[in-house]
Protein backbone atom coordinates (compact mmCIF):
# COMPACT_ATOMS: atom_id res chain seq x y z
CA UNK A 1 0.00 0.00 0.00
CA UNK A 2 2.85 2.40 0.76
CA UNK A 3 4.19 1.80 -2.75
CA UNK A 4 0.77 2.75 -4.12
CA UNK A 5 0.84 5.95 -2.06
CA UNK A 6 4.04 6.90 -3.88
CA UNK A 7 6.68 6.36 -1.20
CA UNK A 8 10.16 5.40 -2.35
CA UNK A 9 11.08 1.73 -1.94
CA UNK A 10 14.26 2.61 -0.01
CA UNK A 11 12.22 4.52 2.57
CA UNK A 12 9.73 1.66 2.94
CA UNK A 13 12.49 -0.93 3.34
CA UNK A 14 14.22 1.16 5.99
CA UNK A 15 10.98 1.57 7.91
CA UNK A 16 10.31 -2.15 7.77
CA UNK A 17 13.58 -2.61 9.60
CA UNK A 18 15.40 -4.70 7.06
CA UNK A 19 18.75 -4.97 8.76
CA UNK A 20 22.08 -3.92 7.30
CA UNK A 21 24.57 -6.72 8.00
CA UNK A 22 27.51 -4.36 8.55
CA UNK A 23 27.40 -3.12 12.17
CA UNK A 24 29.02 0.24 11.44
CA UNK A 25 26.78 1.03 8.47
CA UNK A 26 23.72 -0.02 10.47
CA UNK A 27 24.51 2.55 13.17
CA UNK A 28 25.03 5.36 10.67
CA UNK A 29 21.88 4.44 8.73
CA UNK A 30 19.58 4.60 11.75
CA UNK A 31 18.36 8.12 10.94
CA UNK A 32 18.41 7.61 7.19
CA UNK A 33 15.27 8.98 5.51
CA UNK A 34 13.99 10.10 8.92
CA UNK A 35 11.77 12.96 7.70
CA UNK A 36 10.24 10.84 4.95
CA UNK A 37 9.68 7.95 7.34
CA UNK A 38 7.89 10.19 9.86
CA UNK A 39 5.62 11.60 7.12
CA UNK A 40 4.97 8.11 5.78
CA UNK A 41 4.00 6.71 9.17
CA UNK A 42 1.79 9.72 9.90
CA UNK A 43 -0.10 9.10 6.67
CA UNK A 44 -0.28 5.37 7.42
CA UNK A 45 -1.80 6.11 10.86
CA UNK A 46 -4.57 8.19 9.29
Instruction: Please give the distance of CA 10 from its chain centroid, rounded to a whole number.
Output: 6
Q: What is the pLDDT of residue 30?
A: 72
Is the predicted pLDDT of residue 42 greater than 90, yes or no? yes
Q: What is the pLDDT of residue 46?
A: 87
Torsional class of 32: left (φ above 0), alpha (ψ -120 to 50), beta (otherwise)? beta
DSSP H stretches of helix in the chain = 9-15, 23-28, 34-45
Domain range summary for the chain, segments of one domain joined by +: 9-45
Is the predicted pLDDT of residue 41 greater than 80, yes or no? yes
Contacts of 5 (CB under 8 A, 6+ apart): 40, 43
Is this structure's pTM higher than 0.85?
A: no
Q: What is the pLDDT of residue 14?
A: 82
Q: pLDDT tens across 4-37, in order?
A: 999 998 888 888 877 767 777 767 777 788 899 9
Amino acid sequence: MLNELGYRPDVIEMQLGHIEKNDVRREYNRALYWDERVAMMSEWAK
